[in-house]
Chains A and B, each alone.
Chain A
Amino acid sequence: MAEKYLMKGNEAIAEAAIRNGCIHFFGYPITPQTEVSAYMSKVLPKIGGTFLQAESEIAAINMVLGAASCGVRAMTSSSSPGISLKSEGVSYIAGSDLPCVILNVMRGGPGLGGIQPSQADYWQATKALGHGDFQLLVFAPATVQEIVNLIGTAFDLAEKYRMPALILADGMLGQMMEPVEFPEITPKPAEKPYATTGTQGKRKPNIINSLYLQPDELERTVRERFARYDIIKQNEVRCEEYLTDDAEIILVAYGATARVVRSAVEDARACGIKAGLIRPITLWPFPEEAIRNAAARVDHMITVEMSMGQMVDDVRLYANGQCDVHFFGHTGGIVPTPAEVLDQIKKYAGGAE
């Protein structure tokens, strides 16, 4: 068993990425994510990696595109407003079928918003982080340890399916200190025959590109990409269910909010209300089946988010009218409390004592 250390979420992300073979980092500081850059800047030069503070977020994501074109594991990180700036580059990376990992430590929005924790970028992450028909793999860790465990998965799957992966964390996770351990990792980056690593006169030059001159060629390429998305939906969904087996009311929450809800579920059980929690770990692909099955068994589901209600759209979509789906949340940097969530549970569970 590896030794446990106390780490800030942002530091743990950086260390886990390095351990998974990502020694090329391009970023631009923004609260509450800056410690990722600070950590990379301290460690990467010592181990022969690249830490580059770009002149802007737009530059940083395009440097990731360049590094990924060369076949190396590359990463960038930012917080909400900075992620918006990166969106054009993310679309280009997806359109070039390149793997990379992007971290969003969400803060309040829209606009410059605020620096306190938020989950208001769910729609952006799962529906449209950039223009065009494409998806990202979206992972939503709830603990610092889970961040550490998911980073390697994010790199592996990004390479397997040749697409960008997004780690969607919130300011609370980025800033909080928790005990973590680092499992022994031997990174196994995928073969990348498409990488622009020099032909040595032995093959035709590789070209990394997202421009297609003929519409039918572009349609074919996008359709091939969507066929890959279907495989991902079949094979890569991750979610955790907590006390859902006998639950009469089921809550849905991800990230740090899921921990608040978990405490509320335990409090509800102590009051005799059979509550349960579904925690999506991948937001895309979304745990459609878990929601569908749960909705068939209960009368009420409650989605709790640090936003005005975004994931609740997907929960309603897959509940498909089988039960009532309610929403509770705070936005702007306010974290819901277990007591508030318990009140919601009591309200819909019929006021059991």
Chain B
Amino acid sequence: MQILNKPITIITGHYGSGKTNAAVNLALSAAQAGQPVTIIDLDIVNPYFRTADFIPTLQAHDIQVIAPVYANSNLDIPVLPASVDAAFSQTERMVIVDVGGDDAGAIALGRYAKKIEARGYDLFCVVNARRYLTKDSSQAVSMLREIEQAARLLATGIINNTNLGPQTTPEILLDSVSFAADVCAKTGLPLVCTCTTQPVSGLPDPFLVTRFVKAPWETDQEDHTS
């Protein structure tokens, strides 16, 4: 399954849908396939749990990371570096963008919309049937529309990243298949993939991911139960 087909792939969605985890996994899979990759942490909304947390892992795979100037610092100032603009102009590296949650986070994307359109992009909306405010497909669709408006870009696909963190079970994933199909039907967009940490039969377009985003007290042992 080929998920990354365009020079720029944008990962957006409701906060807590698992955008960062999806973006980090996509970047690693492209890098492992030999593709030069740049990942941009464009999240100016969330103070914690972000792509910039994984800079050492990403850099170990020769992935270039561009993050807001004060990411993970004690400053609450949403400043994006000039290198974001440069990344959308170059042609050597594939670009993956991790956007902040909701329409508020997508505003940061709007500033680059023209350049992104000119280069060619996919904008994937990550949905999670186990997020409280987007548990109905119609709620997920309105959120997607709000994001498109703020981003000044149209979505091109849906990533089903339904999860309950470490308590995710195959049943929860299988339950979410019809939810994701509803979102696709209501928007006319294709399902890009269904993220899962373990092989589950019956999942459409499965994409095997590692759960990187973790709490400080989670040890490696608990990891295997996810």
Footprint of B on A, CB under 8 Å?
4-8, 11, 15, 31-32, 35, 38-39, 42, 108, 113-117, 171-172, 175-179, 256, 259-260, 262-263, 267, 332-333, 335, 337-338
Footprint of A on B, CB under 8 Å?
15-16, 46-49, 73-76, 104, 128, 130-133, 135, 163-165, 167, 215-219
Which residue of chain B is the closest to A42 with respect to CB atoms?
Answer: B133
A115 contact set on B, CB distance < 8 A: 47, 74-76
* Cβ distance A260 to chain B, nearest Cβ, rounded Å: 5
Alpha-carbon separation in the docked complex, A67 to B48 (Å): 33
* Cβ distance B70 to chain A, nearest Cβ, rounded Å: 10
Alpha-carbon separation in the docked complex, A4 to B169 (Å): 12
Which residue of chain B is the closest to A336 with respect to CB atoms?
Answer: B216
A32 contact set on B, CB distance < 8 A: 47-48
Secondary structure type dominating chain A contacts: mixed
Report yes or no: B219 in contact with A263, Cβ–Cβ below 8 A: yes
A260 contact set on B, CB distance < 8 A: 216-217
Alpha-carbon separation in the docked complex, A305 to B114 (Å): 48
Report yes or no: A176 in contact with B130, Cβ–Cβ below 8 A: no
* Cβ distance A136 to chain B, nearest Cβ, rounded Å: 26
Report yes or no: A6 in contact with B47, Cβ–Cβ below 8 A: no
Report yes or no: A338 in contact with B219, Cβ–Cβ below 8 A: yes
Report yes or no: A172 in contact with B216, Cβ–Cβ below 8 A: yes
* Cβ distance B161 to chain A, nearest Cβ, rounded Å: 10
- Name the 9 nearest CB pairs between A and B, nearest first: A114-B74, A259-B217, A179-B164, A5-B132, A175-B48, A263-B217, A260-B217, A335-B216, A6-B130
Known: A31-B76, A263-B218, A338-B216. 13 other contacts (CB 8 A): A6-B165, A7-B131, A7-B132, A11-B16, A35-B15, A38-B104, A114-B73, A114-B75, A175-B47, A177-B16, A259-B215, A262-B217, A337-B216
Report yes or no: B164 in contact with A6, Cβ–Cβ below 8 A: yes
Report yes or no: A116 in contact with B47, Cβ–Cβ below 8 A: yes
Which residue of chain A is the closest to B74 with respect to CB atoms?
Answer: A114
Alpha-carbon separation in the docked complex, A114 to B75 (Å): 6
Contact of A5 among B46, B76, B131 (CB under 8 A): B131
A177 contact set on B, CB distance < 8 A: 16, 49, 165
B133 contact set on A, CB distance < 8 A: 11, 39, 42
A259 contact set on B, CB distance < 8 A: 215, 217
Report yes or no: B216 in contact with A116, Cβ–Cβ below 8 A: no
Alpha-carbon separation in the docked complex, A15 to B135 (Å): 14
Which residue of chain A is the closest to B46 with respect to CB atoms?
Answer: A175
B219 contact set on A, CB distance < 8 A: 263, 267, 338
Report yes or no: B74 in contact with A113, Cβ–Cβ below 8 A: yes
* Cβ distance A97 to chain B, nearest Cβ, rounded Å: 35
Which residue of chain B is the closest to A15 with respect to CB atoms?
Answer: B132
With A171-B48, A179-B167 already in contact, the answer to whether A5 and B215 are too (CB < 8 A) is no
Alpha-carbon separation in the docked complex, A259 to B222 (Å): 13
Report yes or no: B165 in contact with A178, Cβ–Cβ below 8 A: yes
A6 contact set on B, CB distance < 8 A: 16, 128, 130-132, 163-165
A42 contact set on B, CB distance < 8 A: 133
Report yes or no: A31 in contact with B164, Cβ–Cβ below 8 A: no
B167 contact set on A, CB distance < 8 A: 4, 179
Report yes or no: B216 in contact with A4, Cβ–Cβ below 8 A: no
* Cβ distance A166 to chain B, nearest Cβ, rounded Å: 22
Which residue of chain B is the closest to A341 with respect to CB atoms?
Answer: B217
With A108-B74, A171-B47 already in contact, the answer to whether A338 and B217 are too (CB < 8 A) is yes
Alpha-carbon separation in the docked complex, A40 to B16 (Å): 17
Which residue of chain A is the closest to B175 with respect to CB atoms?
Answer: A3
Alpha-carbon separation in the docked complex, A256 to B216 (Å): 9
Report yes or no: B216 in contact with A179, Cβ–Cβ below 8 A: no
Report yes or no: A333 in contact with B216, Cβ–Cβ below 8 A: no
Which residue of chain B is the closest to A175 with respect to CB atoms?
Answer: B48
List 12 interface pairs A-B (beta carbons < 8 Å), by A numbering. Answer: A4-B164, A6-B164, A11-B133, A31-B47, A116-B74, A172-B215, A175-B49, A177-B49, A179-B130, A256-B216, A333-B74, A335-B216
B130 contact set on A, CB distance < 8 A: 4-6, 179
